[in-house]
């Protein structure tokens, strides 16, 4: 049987706040995003908790206290659908010279034997240098987080260690490392190569939290022309420019209105694109001659590392042939653009899974040009009511506004979830929640067993691609609740249907 990769998580300061000796479950405070992050990682890693609790040897805690707290953590995570395979506790002091205290690898060997874990493919995440050393001691990869005691011991870290703000950011590296032999040197080398390629005017595909982008130097008109060519995209359709800090934004625009700045402060890095009046550093080809430039700071560690490494802003549309479904894995890209780009950075599946929300600040009133990864309600919570551009505008200002877009090759029609659709032939179903018990579908894709809109968004494009590969006559797609990310999902489904209905197939 194939050995699996393990993810060994330090407890205090890494998944929960470090609040000294914890005796009770009610004292546990999870670090924000822990649950979502672990959900994302558990598809590819077996999860463990590994913790030193010297308070037991000191008499400040009992082993019963520690186990109670651990059980609380495990059951809280289990309720959210996250499985922790095992928990390892060292109750000793360093001077006890036990076998099990970090960075000694005793517990990792135990996990390897009991749970069939390949330690060379495994990762340890923690807020103490011992966590990184622990990984190094078994030929795995250690990642240091700056939560908990992270800031305090930063100086003691082995050189070349990977340091990230939180577990959430560690996840981007973890999923990428799984694709580069679990060797940070390999991944860093690939990032250098990709940065160099961008500077040379070549194309690089990179992951973002929304979808994969097909990137080129935003200040190099010739490189941008290649992007249009490779994607088969009409020149009237402008590109989003990806930046790594606010200063870079300021260097590309004439004006940064206060409301736009507030959105940036709240949602960057993240799935939000701002259209701001451009200055002349951005060539016309990028904006298709429009007065505004679209800017966004992606919430993905590889994307940010690439922008920094290349030293230039990177213009990138989604890395799919024009009009087709956006890619949310590197394999999606390889299948369609493989030969045509210099580097494909593989960061694993995209977290959000639908494109960014686009808000324009070119006119008096801010307007949403495309619903996306940040729900409209959240935008309005920060800057008050925003206008929305008419869906069926004649001259599309944003191809997200073209009537047919994000489409599979197979005809797709929309239906309400309780609607009976009778069509003959090989029919597939894209279902929001659990699939109907009695049905005649040849193939069914469920976006979220628990009817979670975020999960549904992250699965949307992969599911559509799988259905599109099944040689179906028709795909029936169920509309989802029209709130939060549901608005974005329904928007993409409408575009994918191109206005088709059961009658007009």
Q: From the CB of 444, what's the least distance to ligand TXA, in Å?
A: 28
Contacts of 146 (CB under 8 A, 6+ apart): 127, 154, 163, 164, 165, 166
- The residue within the footprint of ligand TXA, chosen from 397, 429, 477, 480 (CB under 6 A), is 397
> Helix axis angle, 453-468 relative to 330-337, nearest 10°?
30
Q: If binding is defined by CB under 6 A, does position 400 make contact with ligand TXA?
A: yes
Q: If binding is defined by CB under 6 A, does position 327 make contact with ligand TXA?
A: no
Task: Specify the 3-state DSSP secondary structure of 9.
Answer: strand
- The residue within the footprint of ligand TXA, chosen from 6, 269, 292, 428 (CB under 6 A), is 292
The first and second tokens of residue 275, run together, are 């259209």
Question: Residue 6 or 238: which CB sits closer to ligand TXA?
Answer: 238
The partner in contact with residue 290, picked from ligand TXA, Mg ion, none with C-beta cut-offs of 5 to 8 angstroms by kind, is: ligand TXA
User: Measuring CA to CA, which residue among 105, 311, 343, 338 is closest to residue 202?
Assistant: 343
- The residue within the footprint of ligand TXA, chosen from 143, 176, 184, 358 (CB under 6 A), is 358
Strand partners, 406: none
Q: From the CB of 374, what's the least distance to ligand TXA, in Å?
A: 10
181-187-192 Cα angle (round to 5): 155
Question: Residue 111 or 456: which CB sits closer to ligand TXA?
Answer: 456
CA dihedral 241, 244, 249, 250 (to 10 degrees): -160
Residues 353 and 460: beta-carbon distance below 8 Å: yes
Mark the segment that binds ligand TXA (CB under 6 A) among 54-62, 260-268, 271-279, 492-500: 271-279
Mark the segment that binds ligand TXA (CB under 6 A) among 95-103, 127-135, 258-266, 267-275: 267-275
The first and second tokens of residue 453, run together, are 């809109």
Mark the segment that binds ligand TXA (CB under 6 A) among 80-88, 291-299, 427-435, 486-494: 291-299
Residue facing ligand TXA at closest CB distance? 317
- The residue within the footprint of ligand TXA, chosen from 17, 18, 118, 237 (CB under 6 A), is 237
Pairing of strands 272-277, 240-242: unpaired
Residues 260 and 368: beta-carbon distance below 8 Å: no
Q: Is 237 left (phi over 0), alpha (psi -120 to 50) or beta?
A: beta
Q: From the CB of 484, what's the least distance to ligand TXA, in Å?
A: 17
The partner in contact with residue 213, picked from ligand TXA, Mg ion, none with C-beta cut-offs of 5 to 8 angstroms by kind, is: ligand TXA
User: Measuring CA to CA, which residue among 331, 312, 285, 376 is closest to residue 466?
Assistant: 331
Q: From the CB of 485, what's the least distance to ligand TXA, in Å?
A: 13
In angstroms, the CA 128 to CA 70 distance is 19
Task: Specify the 3-state DSSP secondary structure of 176.
Answer: helix
Residues 333 and 318: beta-carbon distance below 8 Å: no
Strand partners, 443: 428
- The binding track of 8-37 with respect to ligand TXA, each residue x by CB under 6 A or -, is ------------------------------
Q: From the CB of 150, what's the least distance to ligand TXA, in Å?
A: 29
Residue facing Mg ion at closest CB distance? 13
Mark the segment that binds ligand TXA (CB under 6 A) among 96-104, 244-252, 352-360, 381-389: 352-360
- The binding track of 445-464 with respect to ligand TXA, each residue x by CB under 6 A or -, is --------------------
Question: Residue 13 or 349: which CB sits closer to Mg ion?
Answer: 13
Question: Residue 18 or 331: which CB sits closer to Mg ion?
Answer: 18
Q: If binding is defined by CB under 6 A, does position 225 make contact with ligand TXA?
A: no
Q: If binding is defined by CB under 6 A, does position 353 make contact with ligand TXA?
A: no
Number of residues in contact with ligand TXA under rule CB under 6 A = 30
Q: From the CB of 471, what's the least distance to Mg ion, in Å?
A: 51
The footprint of Mg ion (CB under 5 A) covers: 10, 12-13, 127, 148
- The residue within the footprint of ligand TXA, chosen from 14, 37, 398, 458 (CB under 6 A), is 398
DSSP 8-state assignment for residue 435: P
Run of H or E including 277: strand 272-277
The partner in contact with residue 13, picked from Mg ion, ligand TXA, none with C-beta cut-offs of 5 to 8 angstroms by kind, is: Mg ion
The partner in contact with residue 355, picked from ligand TXA, Mg ion, none with C-beta cut-offs of 5 to 8 angstroms by kind, is: ligand TXA
Q: If binding is defined by CB under 6 A, does position 91 make contact with ligand TXA?
A: no
Question: Residue 13 or 215: which CB sits closer to Mg ion?
Answer: 13
Q: What string of DSSP letters covers 304-351?
A: HHHHHHHTS-EE--BSSSTTBPPPSSHHHHHHHHGGG-SEE----S-S
Mark the segment that binds ligand TXA (CB under 6 A) among 33-41, 151-159, 288-296, 473-481: 288-296
Buried b (16+ CB within 10 A) or exposed e, 58-86: eeebeeebbeebbebbbebbeeeebebbb
In angstroms, the CA 333 to CA 344 distance is 8
Question: Residue 132 or 489: which CB sits closer to Mg ion?
Answer: 132
Residues 369 and 288: beta-carbon distance below 8 Å: no
Distances (CA, A) of 423 to 285, 428, 475, 481, 504: 45, 11, 10, 24, 11
Question: Residue 144 or 256: which CB sits closer to ligand TXA?
Answer: 256
Question: Residue 129 or 372: which CB sits closer to ligand TXA?
Answer: 372
Binding residues vs ligand TXA (CB under 6 A): 208, 210-211, 213, 237-240, 271, 273, 275, 287, 290, 292-294, 296, 298, 316-318, 355-356, 358, 369-370, 397-400
């Amino acid at each position: 049987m194939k050995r699996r990769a393990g993810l060994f998580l330090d407890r205090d300061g890494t998944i929960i706040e470090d609040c000294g000796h914890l005796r009770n479950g009610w004292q546990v405070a999870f670090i924000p995003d822990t649950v979502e992050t672990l959900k994302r990682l558990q598809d590819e890693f077996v999860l463990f908790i590994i913790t030193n609790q010297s308070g037991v040897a000191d008499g400040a805690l009992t082993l019963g206290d520690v186990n109670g707290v651990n059980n609380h953590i495990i059951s809280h995570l289990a309720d959210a659908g996250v499985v922790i395979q095992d928990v390892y506790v060292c109750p000793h002091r360093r001077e006890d010279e036990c076998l099990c205290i970090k960075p000694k690898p005793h517990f990792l060997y135990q996990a390897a034997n009991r749970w069939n874990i390949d330690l060379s493919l495994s990762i340890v995440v923690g807020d103490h240098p011992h966590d990184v050393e622990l990984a190094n001691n078994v030929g795995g990869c250690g990642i240091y987080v700056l939560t908990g005691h992270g800031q305090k011991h930063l100086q003691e870290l082995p050189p070349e260690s990977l340091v990230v703000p939180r577990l959430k950011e560690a996840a981007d590296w973890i999923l990428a490392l799984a694709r580069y032999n679990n060797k940070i040197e390999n991944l860093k080398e690939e990032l250098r190569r990709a940065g160099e390629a961008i500077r040379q005017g070549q194309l690089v595909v990179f992951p973002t939290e929304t979808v994969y982008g097909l990137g080129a130097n935003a200040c190099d008109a010739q490189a941008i022309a290649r992007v249009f060519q490779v994607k088969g995209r009409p020149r009237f359709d402008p590109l989003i420019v990806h930046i790594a800090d606010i200063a870079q934004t300021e260097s590309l625009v004439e004006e940064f209105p206060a409301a736009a700045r507030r959105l940036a402060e709240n949602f960057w890095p993240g799935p939000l694109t701002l259209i701001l009046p451009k200055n002349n550093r951005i060539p016309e080809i990028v904006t298709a001659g429009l007065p505004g430039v679209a800017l966004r700071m992606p919430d993905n560690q590889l994307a940010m590392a690439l922008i920094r490494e290349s030293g230039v802003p990177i213009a990138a549309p989604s890395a799919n042939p024009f009009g087709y479904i956006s890619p949310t894995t590197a394999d999606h890209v390889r299948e369609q653009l493989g030969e045509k780009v210099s580097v494909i950075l593989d960061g694993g599946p995209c977290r959000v899974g639908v494109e960014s929300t686009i808000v324009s600040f070119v006119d008096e009133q801010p307007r949403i040009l495309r619903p996306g990864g940040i729900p409209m309600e959240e935008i309005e919570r920060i800057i008050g009511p925003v206008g929305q551009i008419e869906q069926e505008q004649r001259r599309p200002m944003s191809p997200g506004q073209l009537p047919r877009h994000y489409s599979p090759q197979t005809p797709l029609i929309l239906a309400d979830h309780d609607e009976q659709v009778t069509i003959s032939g090989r029919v597939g179903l894209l279902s929001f929640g659990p699939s109907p018990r009695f049905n005649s579908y040849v193939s069914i894709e469920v976006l979220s067993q628990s009817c979670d809109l975020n999960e549904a968004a992250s699965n949307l494009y992969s599911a559509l691609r799988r259905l599109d590969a099944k040689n179906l006559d028709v795909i029936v797609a169920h509309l989802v609740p029209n709130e939060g990310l549901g608005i974005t999902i329904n928007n993409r489904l409408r575009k994918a249907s191109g206005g088709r209905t059961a009658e007009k197939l």
